[in-house]
Structure 1
């Protein structure tokens, strides 16, 4: 049986590229492509 320290050490580091892509995707869903001030008829 492994110790908790050994198990935690075996967890890989987060994929920073995937995290950045996910953040861009979320930002695209939640933020308008233009500023609200520029979005006037």
Structure 2
């Protein structure tokens, strides 16, 4: 992943760098939702 120093183009990530993170991110969100439901 490359992080550009220019604020006009702050994030410039290639699809092949980001796409593998989707499943892990969805799992994290589901886990967080389940934990939040325990305290409501």
Larger Rg: 1
Q: Normalised by the size of structure 2, how large is the TM-score? A: 0.45
- Greater strand proportion: 2
Q: Normalised by the size of structure 1, how large is the TM-score? A: 0.44
